[in-house]
Amino acid sequence: MEQKDALLDSLAELRAAHDKASRLMAEIAALGAQVLKGSGDLPSLAQLRLYEEAAARAQQQAALCQDLLMGGTGVSSGAPGGRPYVH
């Protein structure tokens, strides 16, 4: 039962991380659309970095979910040789 609870918690965290990244991307896309229409400013580097961090967090959380589904502990050691993720 602990494994199931850990997976459900991890899935909830994945959903939250994904939602955050999606909101940030929607804001960036809206700014881009405004620029194409001739008004507004381009997205800032800070906005893109926030999105990058949120997307990386979602990807890390997805890897933890996969580990739990495969019977692992869901604990990431952060050591080399672990699951790679792309920013």
d(CA 11, CA 18): 10
DSSP string, 36-64: HTT-S-PPPHHHHHHHHHHHHHHHHHHHH
Residue 75 has pLDDT above 70, yes or no: no
More confident call, 23 vs 71: 23
Residue 82 within a domain = no
Residue 80 within a domain = no
Looking at the structure of the chain, the number of domains it has is 1
* Average pLDDT estimate for 25-40: 96
| pLDDT on residue 19 | 98
- Phi–psi pair at 75, nearest 5 degrees: -100, 125
Residue 84 within a domain = no
Residue 74 within a domain = no
Name residues whose C-beta falls within 8 Å of residue 62's C-beta, 6 or more positions apart in sequence. 14
| pLDDT on residue 72 | 82
* Average pLDDT estimate for 31-39: 95
Residue 25 structural domain = 2-69
Residue 59 within a domain = yes
Residue 38 within a domain = yes
Cα–Cα nearest to 47, from 83, 23, 16, 82: 23
Residue 87 within a domain = no
**Angle 67-57-2 (CA atoms, 0-180°, nearest 5)?**
35
| pLDDT on residue 73 | 75
Whether this prediction's pTM lies above 0.85 is answered by no
Residue 45 has pLDDT above 70, yes or no: yes
